[in-house]
Amino acid sequence: MATPKFAEIKQSILARIESGEWEEHTRVPSENQLAEQFECSRMTARRALTELVDSGVLERTQGLGTFVAELKSQSSMMAIRNIADEIKDRGHGYSVKQLELTSIEAIAPIAIALGLEAGSQVYYSVLVHCEDGVPLQLEERFVNPKLVPEYLVQDFTSQTPHEYLSQVAPLTEARHTLEAVIANKHNQQALNIPASEPCLQILRRTWSRQGVVSFAKLIHPGSRFRLGGHLTF
């Protein structure tokens, strides 16, 4: 059965985004240009663009056109941003401490999160991201080695895992779970917080076109972090 034209257009656009050819904020071809390129009606091209806009892949700006959107979770309104960029955008100094970078045997919950068999080897990293020298986020990340085979040879003191994964396995989907927690003793020491300090924990799974790329636990001291958003109705 032949692929419908609107689906063919969507696949073409997604492929260019995932390959990095079209970066965030890149203007995509107009409905007329797509209709001509794919030899279809303008209505068909419009359907493809509209569905990608509705799913958050593209965004329209009145009078200017349609652009590649900033990557957002498909299940929440939170934008996925590189923490190093967030800190620098505030005019503050960013630094990181790499605590672990190794291969481990995945227990059942981690294996399930990554879509692997329990006991499979997965890559594991632990970093503390700091703002002006003060710990802001403890990042514990489990990575699918089948999709990111060179993860263990990276230097994450010069490039964050988020930056690296975005390059080698462009994200197509992300899901978040947020909860208030009290960090264990080990994490309290890493974040330099007292035992009574409440924290915000974000559990994040990310996908590329090939499957689940990583599962991360991001822990933030409550006194140093807040989560915001903006909705337009």
- For 34-94, the DSSP string reads HHHHTT--HHHHHHHHHHHHHTTSEEEETTTEEEEPPPB-SSSS-B---HHHHHHHTT--E
Q: What is the pLDDT of residues 100-119, one digit of tens each?
A: 999 999 999 999 899 899 89
Q: What is the pLDDT of residues 188-206, one digit of tens each?
A: 999 999 999 999 999 999 9
Kindly report the pTM of this predicted structure. 0.67
pLDDT at 217 over 60: yes
Contacts of 213 (CB under 8 A, 6+ apart): 143, 144, 147, 148, 165, 169, 171, 206, 207
- Report the distance separating Cα 24 and Cα 17, nearest Å: 8
Q: What is the pLDDT of residues 117-138, one digit of tens each?
A: 989 999 999 999 999 999 999 9
Can you tell me which residue has the tokens 């100094």? 93
Q: Greater confidence, 165 or 170?
A: 165
Structural element, H or E, at residue 179: strand 173-182
Can you tell me which residue has the tokens 């957002």? 72
Can you tell me which residue has the tokens 């990608």? 52
Amino acid 228: pLDDT: 58
CATH numbers and ranges of domains, the chain: 5-68 (1.10.10.10), 83-221 (3.40.1410.10)
Q: Could you tell me if 42 and 32 are in contact, meaning their C-beta atoms sit under 8 angstroms apart?
A: yes
